[in-house]
Every structure is written in C-alpha cells, then in structure tokens.
Structure 1
C-alpha cells in the first residue's frame, strides 16, 4: 500500500500563481448542481466556498425558489434553473460538482453527468446515494471522477457496515479508487485522498469543529474551485482538503470555540488562511 502525507510544503509547491494579465475565464469556469427547496443552504455554502477559493466563474444550477437565497449570500454567482436542459448548463464548464442538498430523488441528474459531462466531476452528499448502481457507466467514463463520502456514505457504496469502513479506512479507499478508476476523498479525521492507481494521500489538518452540518458542502466547493485552477487533479484535491482543515485550525488558533466552528465561518476565514500559508 502506497501511503503518503500531503504537507504544507506540497500545498505551497503546487499553488498556482496568478498571471497579472489573466482574466476570470483563466481561473476555472465551474458549475454547481446543488440545493433544493428544503436545503437551500447547501447550495449557498458550496458556491460561497468555490468563489472564496478562487474560481473565476461560478454558476449554480438549483430550483427556482433557492436562487434568491443563494444570490443573497453569493452575489458573484450566476444561476441556472434546475428544470432547464442540463446539457446547456454543462456547456463550457471546466469542472462540475453535484450533490449537496440535491435530494435523493435526483439520481437521474447524477447518471446524466457521469455519462455526458466530459470534464472533472465531483460528486458529494445526496449524489452518492445511488452511486453503486452506476458502477458500469463509471468504469466507462474517461474524464476524472472525484467522490467525497463520509464513512456512512462510503459504507453504502461498498456494501459494508460503517464499522468496517472506520476500521479499514486505507484499504476501503484504495480498493474503491482502483475498482472504479476514480478519486476517493474519504472524509473524517485525517481525510484520505485515494488516486485511481491506489496511491493514498493523508491529510493532517482539521479538528473536531468540522464535525458539523455544512462543512462537507464547503469542502466540495473548495475542491471544485481548486480543480478549476490547477493543471492536475490530485494536487488540487489534496490541497483543497488540506486548506479546508487548515482554515478550521486557523479559527481555533484565533479564539473560536471548537463547538462554535461553522461552515460559514470556515468560508469567511479562507482568505486569511490562504494569505498566511501562501504569502
């Protein structure tokens, strides 16, 4: 088993430098398919994290009632109504993320994305619920697929119980990544990023303050933005995971009670944490 640590030095080494003459299209045109009438916050958190993490253009595909809610939190985003043609939304996107707050009755969207979107695709949350049923089309897919399960979601995907996953995290992530030919971000203490060849990268940032609703939506938005800015998938994903935990640690270091860490506060501290580490 090939296990490695993703370190601060590696984050700095791979961090993309912005060309002073660049424009918004040079830093990732990303799409987010998220949110529902009962879960509008997931879309807002994911989009907010993507914008704060440097995505050049962030478009949100959601239901009509959620659009004004997300726009109130993320005025930089553009919007696409969920009932419109999905192909139109995918067109021109450098990367797409789907799943946060989507609802479990939207699996046809996930199947369509896996089959037809030819760029990097990040699937999280509700988008993972029926993932195992798509094994055949996932194996046929040639563009990168990145999934971000927590232990419970991972257990459902591999048809094991949660105790097996928590007791065999490295083995579970490695096997799924190799079997499906995908990137697996197995969330939890010391989040694991498994590459399609089975190489594992372990993250050592973060704290128990992240054990709260919404922080996974933030991570998905960060991963999406980093993929849009980086040339290679693994450094992008591993650096996003690192900085997600680093931001949470930054909050604690600056007086935040661990119990009071929230997804929104992680987004707000991203700029300061990026600045401290990279500059």
Structure 2
C-alpha cells in the first residue's frame, strides 16, 4: 500500500494562481446544496468557507426560509430555491457539494446528482446516509466523486462497525476508493485522502478542537472552492484537509482554548493561516 504524507511544500506547489486580469468566472462557479429548517448553519458555514477559500461565485441551493439566515452570514453568496428544478441549478457549475444540514430525507437529491451532474461532486454529512444503496450508479459515473465520511458514516457505508473502521483506517479508505472508483476522505486524527487509483495521502495538521459540529461543513466548503479553481482533484482535496487542520492549529497558537475551537473561528482565521502556511 503506497502511503504518502501531504506537506506544506506540496500545499504551496499546488496552490491555485490568480492572474491579474482574471474575473469571478476564472476562479470557479460552485454550487452548495445544504441547510434545512433545523440546520441552517451548516449551509452558512459551508458557503462562507467556499467564499473565503477563493471560489469565484458561490450559489447556495436551500429552503426559502433558510436563505435570509445564510445571507446574513455570507453576503457574497447567491441563492437558488430548492423547490425549483435541480437542472437549472447545476447549469454552469464547475463543482458542486451536497449534504451539510440537508437532513435524512435528501436521498433523491443525491441520486439525481450522482446520475446527472457531470462535474466534480463532493458528498458530505447527511448526503452520505444512504450512499451504499447507490453503488451501481456510482460505478457508472465518469466525473469525479469525492466523499468525506467520519468513522461512523464510513461504517454505515461499508456495513461494518466503527471499531472495525478505526482499526483499519488505511485499508478501509483504500478499498472503498478502489471499489467505487471515487476519492474517499476519511476524517479523523490524521485524515486520509484515498484515490481511486490506489494512492493514499495522510494529513498531519489539526487537533481535537475540530471534534465539534460544523467543522466538517467548513472543510467541505474549502474543498469545493479548491477543486473549482482548477487544481487536480487529489491535490485540491489534500490542500483543503491540510489547511483546515492548519487553521485549527493556528487558533491554538494564537491562544484560543482548544475547547472553544469552532467552525466559525476556523473560517475567521483562514486568511491569516493561508498566509502563514504559504510562507
């Protein structure tokens, strides 16, 4: 098994460049399908992270009641009503993420995306709940699919228990990526990025302050933005994982108590932590 570490030098080497004459369309048009009446914050965190990570245009597909809440936190975002046709939302998108705060009744949306969206697709959180039932559709898909499970979600996908996943993290991530032909981001201490061709990349940034609701939504937004800016999938995903953890470490270095690390605080220091990581 070919296991590699993702490093600060690799982050710099794959950092997306911004040309002086570029415009918002040059840096990726991303779509986020997220949020529900009981979990509007997931959509806000994901969208804010995408904007802060450089996405050129971020559009959030959510409930009408959620839009004012997200807009209050992310004025740069645009919106799409979830009850409108999904094909209209997907048009022109360079990458799409789905799942944060959607709720467990979102499976029709996930099936539609796997089947009909021909760009890079990131599935996280509630979007993973019934992923195993779509194995045949996933195998037929030709565009990149990236999933971001924690150990519990991974256990459900592969029909094993959490103890099995935690005891076999490398093997579990590698096998699912190869079997389904997808990229698997197995979150946790030393998050693993598994490529469909067999490569495994291990991340060494981050701390237990990230073990809190909302931080995964931030990672999804960062990942989406980096993918849409034109970097190859694995480097984009690994950069997001590295810098997400790096921002959490940066907070601790600045005197933030580890118990008080939140997704919002991670977003608030992305600018400073990007600068520190790239120097």
Q: Same fold (TM over 0.5)?
A: yes
Residue 233 of structure 2 corresponds to residue 213 of structure 1: no
Q: List per-residue Cα deviations over 1:226-275 (Å, max 9, x = no partner).
A: 00113310000000000000000000000000001000000000011011
Check conservation: 2:14, 2:231, Cα contact below 8 A: no
Residue 107 of structure 2 corresponds to residue 107 of structure 1: yes
2:32 & 2:72 partners in 1: Cα distance?
16
2:106 & 2:218 partners in 1: Cα distance?
21
2:164 match: 164
SS of corresponding position for 2:65: helix
Normalised TM-score (structure 2): 0.99
How far the C-alpha of 1:16 sits from its partner, in A, is 1.4
SS of corresponding position for 2:269: helix
Q: Any residues of structure 2 matched to 1:1-279 within 5 Å, and which?
A: 1-279=1-279
Q: List per-residue Cα deviations over 1:55-88 (Å, max 9, x = no partner).
A: 0000000001000000000000000000000000
Deviant stretches of 4+, over 4 Å = none
Check conservation: 2:16, 2:226, Cα contact below 8 A: no
Q: List per-residue Cα deviations over 1:78-128 (Å, max 9, x = no partner).
A: 000000000000000000000000011110000000000000000000000
Q: List per-residue Cα deviations over 1:21-79 (Å, max 9, x = no partner).
A: 10000001000000000000000000000000000000000001000000000000000
Q: List per-residue Cα deviations over 1:104-153 (Å, max 9, x = no partner).
A: 11100000000000000000000000000000000000000000000000
Check conservation: 2:193, 2:237, Cα contact below 8 A: yes
Q: List per-residue Cα deviations over 1:201-245 (Å, max 9, x = no partner).
A: 000000000000000000000000000113310000000000000
2:100 & 2:240 partners in 1: Cα distance?
17
How far the C-alpha of 1:15 sits from its partner, in A, is 0.5
Check conservation: 2:96, 2:121, Cα contact below 8 A: yes
SS of corresponding position for 1:119: coil
2:16 & 2:118 partners in 1: Cα distance?
23
1:139 & 1:116 partners in 2: Cα distance?
14
**What value does the CA root-mean-square deviation take over the aligned residues?**
0.5
SS of corresponding position for 1:22: coil
2:14 & 2:172 partners in 1: Cα distance?
27
Q: Work out the number of aligned pairs and report it.
A: 279
1:151 & 1:192 partners in 2: Cα distance?
11
SS of corresponding position for 1:193: strand
1:92 & 1:17 partners in 2: Cα distance?
22
1:252 & 1:53 partners in 2: Cα distance?
21
